[in-house]
């Protein structure tokens, strides 16, 4: 009897295990079927009917100040500092110790104030500086070419057979001065070309990316904190500038003790930093400063063409009316001659 009970118990356990395995495989099959069905349904969706939103709609900015951004209906003011450090691994032991102690002090300065740390890399863009150097080199080339022509003419004049001895000395000194200036111009041009070549090598997509470290902080206006007085909008802006300036100065001083060079970012630089995250492709092609400094009507010029076209059209209408009047008058005169011979 015990053997029969054990056999039945084993059969029940095996049946339960088989049922569990079947249920497991059945669940997996249902999940895969629904997943494929959902993927097929998503492929048939017409995304052109969706209302497309710009990424900047999620980054609400009310104003771009000189060195801050304003959001939340003029209640939140955002500022940042940009940092540039040194190679900690290559530093001496004393420098490493000083840096660690400096950062401990920096963390104490932060206290409970919220701060955001961003680290990114970007291409070094020296196109503007390269263009300035190229223009300067072109001006020097033009100056050297003109001076070379003057030198040739002066030399021909000094070789005249009827030239007096005292005049020859004057020409000689003048030619020496021209030679010195030509050598100096040649040296300056060579230096500029070397600088242009170097900047071209370290600028653009093919150059090594520049690492940027940014600390972003803010100050929020709360009317409850100023319950004793009501601040006007201009007063809120002034208070925000003072608070952000105080924070930035404390952070920059603390970072300087760490061997880190930091400076306050302008409002345009902050806007460009946001734009690099929201529009990375277009931000890599054009800087915000170029967009801000450009005018939408810069390609337009004043012209009297509209007035001239209007006058020409009016003259044409008048000439047409005069022609019709003359034609009608001629017809009437012809008709009068026929009826009254």
- 115-129, 201-215, 221-235, 296-310: which range is least confident on average? 296-310
Q: How confident is the model at residue 299 (pLDDT cuts 50, 70, 90)?
A: very low
**Per-chain mean pLDDT for the chain:** 77
Torsion over CA: 51, 52, 55, 56 (sign):
negative
The number of CA neighbours under 13 Å toward the Cβ of 156 is: 5
Go through 312-332 and write b for each residue having 16 or more CB atoms within 10 A of its CB, e for each that does not. Answer: eeeeeeeeeeeeeeeeeeeee
Share of the chain above pLDDT 70, in %: 73
Q: How confident is the model at residue 221 (pLDDT cuts 50, 70, 90)?
A: confident
pLDDT one-digit tens code per residue, 145-160 = 998 888 888 888 877 7
pLDDT one-digit tens code per residue, 270-282 = 877 777 776 666 6
Provide the pLDDT for residue 296. Answer: 43
pLDDT (average), residues 162-180: 81
Q: Which residue has the higher pLDDT, 264 or 267?
A: 264
- 48-57, 190-199, 309-318: which range is least confident on average? 48-57
Share of the chain above pLDDT 90, in %: 2
The answer to whether 244 touches 79, Cβ cutoff 8 Å, is yes
The answer to whether 125 touches 210, Cβ cutoff 8 Å, is no
């Amino acid at each position: 009897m015990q053997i029969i009970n054990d056999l039945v118990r084993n059969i029940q356990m095996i049946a339960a295990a088989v049922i569990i395995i079947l249920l497991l495989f059945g669940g997996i099959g249902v999940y895969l079927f629904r997943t494929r069905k959902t993927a097929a349904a998503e492929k048939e969706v017409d995304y052109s009917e969706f209302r497309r939103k710009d990424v900047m709609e999620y980054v609400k900015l009310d104003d771009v100040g000189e060195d801050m951004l304003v959001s939340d209906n003029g209640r939140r003011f955002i500022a940042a500092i940009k940092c540039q450090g040194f190679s900690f691994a290559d530093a001496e032991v004393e420098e490493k110790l000083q840096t660690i102690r400096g950062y401990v002090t920096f963390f104490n300065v932060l206290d409970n104030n919220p701060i955001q740390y961003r680290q990114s890399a970007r291409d070094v863009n020296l196109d503007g500086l390269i263009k300035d150097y190229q223009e300067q080199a072109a001006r020097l080339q033009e100056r050297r070419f003109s001076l070379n022509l003057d030198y040739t003419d002066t030399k021909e004049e000094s070789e005249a057979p009827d030239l007096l001895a005292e005049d020859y000395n004057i020409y000689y000194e003048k030619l020496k001065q021209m030679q010195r200036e030509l050598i100096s111009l040649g040296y300056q041009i060579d230096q500029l070309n070397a600088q242009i070549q170097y900047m071209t090598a370290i600028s653009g997509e093919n150059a090594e990316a520049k690492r940027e470290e940014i600390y972003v902080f803010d100050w929020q206006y709360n009317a409850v904190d100023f319950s004793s007085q009501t601040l006007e909008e201009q007063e809120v802006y002034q208070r925000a500038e003072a608070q952000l300036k105080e924070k930035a100065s404390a952070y920059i001083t603390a970072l300087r003790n760490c061997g880190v060079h930091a400076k306050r970012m302008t409002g345009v630089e902050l806007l460009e930093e946001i734009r690099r995250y929201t529009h990375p492709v277009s931000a890599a092609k054009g800087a915000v400063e170029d967009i801000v400094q450009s005018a939408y009507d810069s390609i337009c010029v004043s012209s009297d063409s509209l007035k001239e076209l209007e006058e020409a059209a009016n003259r044409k209408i008048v000439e047409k009316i005069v022609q019709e009047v003359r034609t009608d008058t001629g017809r009437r005169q012809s008709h009068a001659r026929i009826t009254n011979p």
